[in-house]
Every structure is written in C-alpha cells, then in structure tokens.
Amino acid sequence: MSALLFTFFVWLTAATAGFLGALTGLGGGVVLVPVLTLAFGVDIKYAIGASLVSVIATSSGAAAAYVREGYTNIRIGILLEVATTLGAILGAFLAAYLSTHVLAIVFGLVLVHSAWRSLSGNHQDAGPPVESDALAKKLRLAGSYPVEGKRQEYGVRNVPAGFSLMFGAGALSGLLGIGAGVIKVIAMDRAMKIPFKVSTTTSNFMIGVTAAASAGVYLGRGYIEPRLAMPVMLGVLGGAFLGTKVLIKAKVKSLRLIFGGVVLLLAVEMIMNGIRGRI
C-alpha cells in the first residue's frame, strides 16, 4: 500500500470513529486504536499517541460550544481535572514499561465495558435533582443547565468517590490513549448524582486536558508520529463535527446498539490477539 493510500484510509477510519463517537457519546478512541492496530498493523503505542492527539483536537472544539450553551460545570471540571491529570501522567509512564500484549488485553477489557454501556445504557435523568452534601456546598459545585428553555438547578454529592474514579479514568486515558469518557460520565452521573447532560459535557471539557497531560509523555518517548497523527486528527475532527449535526435527528438508541456490537467484536479480537502474542 502506497503512503498516499495509507493516509487516505487512516483518515477515513478516523472520520468514521469520530462520527460514531460523537453519536454515541463513547468517544472515537475506543474504535480508532484497535482498528489502527489490527487493520493497519500500527504499533499499539503509536496508535495510542495518535489517538491522544485527536482527543485534544475534538475536545477543544466541542468544549467551547458546550460552555457557551451553559451545560458544562467548569468548577467541577477544574476540580476533577486535578485527579484525571495525575492519573493520566501515571498511565502514560506505565505504558512505556508494559508490553504491547498486556496493553492489548487491557484495552480489550475496556472495550467490553464500553460495549456493555452502549448496549444497556439508559441516560435519561430520572427523578428530581439531589441536594448537595456538605463538601459540595463548601466547594460551591452546584449549578444549573438548560431544560426546555429554563434553567434547572442541581446539586452534587459524593465528591471523594467521584475524585477517586477520576484518577482511575485518567490512568486509563494515559495508558490506552482514550478519553475515558465512559468512566468519567459514570463517576459524575452515578457517583456524584450530576444530571447526565451536565456529566457528558463536563467530561468533554475535561478529556482534552487529560489527553494533553499524557500526550506530552508519549511525545517525549517518541510515540507520536506526525504522519500518522495528522490524518487521524483531521479525520476524527471532521467526523465528530458531522456527528454532532446528525445527532439531533438520528435514532441514538439504534446507533448505540450498532456501536456496541462493533466495539464488542473489536474487544474480542484485541483480547485474543493479545493473548496469542500477535500484537
């Protein structure tokens, strides 16, 4: 395969991953890294480096829009970013010392979890908003977000639990080159009782900073190849932009089922190839 053809197919793959990631809310990295590794024969560490660059680009573009529309809770994002950044740096350092076989198996297990979330997730906010607990009140983390033209107030609870989960999400981001948005949303939505729309938009605000922290380590170790990272970044950025436009009219439930099935197949393939030592 010529260099031009390779670049085109990488761009097309990245655009598809970005498109699906924007539609399903799971992020494109969970598709991009295994496809680059399995279909194109890219070393998994270079695939992770390229994925981190694309995460920074997509987060920077979408985060501004969500902040402007009043969904993102910046105070929560900045607080929890401390945990995710520390975790991301740790994960990036660990990645340099783990074999590609181990990384493939770990990534496959994360894909299984992502597939389960996609196939079984119900993200409708249920019940009235909770009242903030003592620590959340002290940190002034409560906020409001638009609901049918009005501002809906909400509270925040279990900040220590959310902070701990964010450290784990950051470590996975640095280790596997994904935004780890699934874990971040779970931490805010389930543990901290934040409305789902606020959780997803705040997670999107955070993943760029998390990826930037670990991308610096990957760059220093020579795992970011510009010839790979550039088409990946442009593809994911374009695909994500198109996905945000289509999302309004698309049947997201059907898309989640399709995405979950694809991710599950990729997970099995990654785990089997990691066990057999083919990656």
Each residue's pLDDT tens digit, 168-207: 888 877 777 666 777 787 788 888 989 878 887 888 788 8
User: Which residues, in sequence order, are bridge partners of residue 145?
Assistant: 152
Per-residue model confidence (pLDDT) at position 51: 87
Chain centroid to Cα 180, Å, comes to 4
Closest CA to 84 of 198, 194, 202: 202
Q: Pull the structure tokens for residue 266.
A: 């990729």
Per-residue pLDDT at 208 exceeds 60: yes
Q: Positive or negative, the Cα torsion across 252, 202, 151, 162? A: positive
Give the residue from 169, 149, 142 showing the smallest Cα distance to 73.
142
- Quote the pLDDT of residue 160: 94
Closest C-alpha among 161, 168, 141, 158 to residue 86: 168
pLDDT given for residue 126 in this prediction = 52
Give the per-residue pLDDT at 146.
86
Return the beta strands (E) in the chain as ranges. 143-147, 150-154
* DSSP character at residue 130: P
Q: Where are the beta strands (DSSP E) in 91-239?
A: 143-147, 150-154
pLDDT digits (tens, 9 = 90+) for 114-158: 778 767 765 555 567 788 999 999 999 999 988 877 888 999 999
Residues 139 and 155 sit within 8 Å (Cβ to Cβ)? no
Alpha carbons 25 and 123: distance in angstroms, whole number: 11
